[in-house]
Amino acid sequence: MTASRPSRMTGFDVHDHRHELKQLRDSGATSLWENRGGVVCPVCDRAFERLFVTHRAGTTVPENDGARFCLLRDDDAVQLFRH
């Protein structure tokens, strides 16, 4: 019998990590944060460099590493479209 690992994907509250994150931009509907405290990703348990937060249903993220992508959230899923 193998032990199952508990799911960490219960949400991520920026305010719980405010002292470890530096806000780089805030437009009201979106914000960008830099991880200065080694906060780990709730999905993969690895430290992340930047965190992008959106309250919109659809968002275009500008080209950063050679590929622009768009996110679309609905009731069932978040979809990532890489261009």
Which candidate, 15, 6, 83, places its Cα nearest to that of 42? 6
Q: What is the pTM of this model?
A: 0.71
Residue 70 contacts residue 60 (beta carbons within 8 Å) = yes
Q: pLDDT 10s per residue in the chain (83 long)?
A: 433 333 444 578 899 999 999 999 999 888 889 999 999 998 888 899 988 888 888 888 777 767 777 777 878 777 777 77
CA distances from 73 to 31, 59, 63 (A): 16, 9, 20
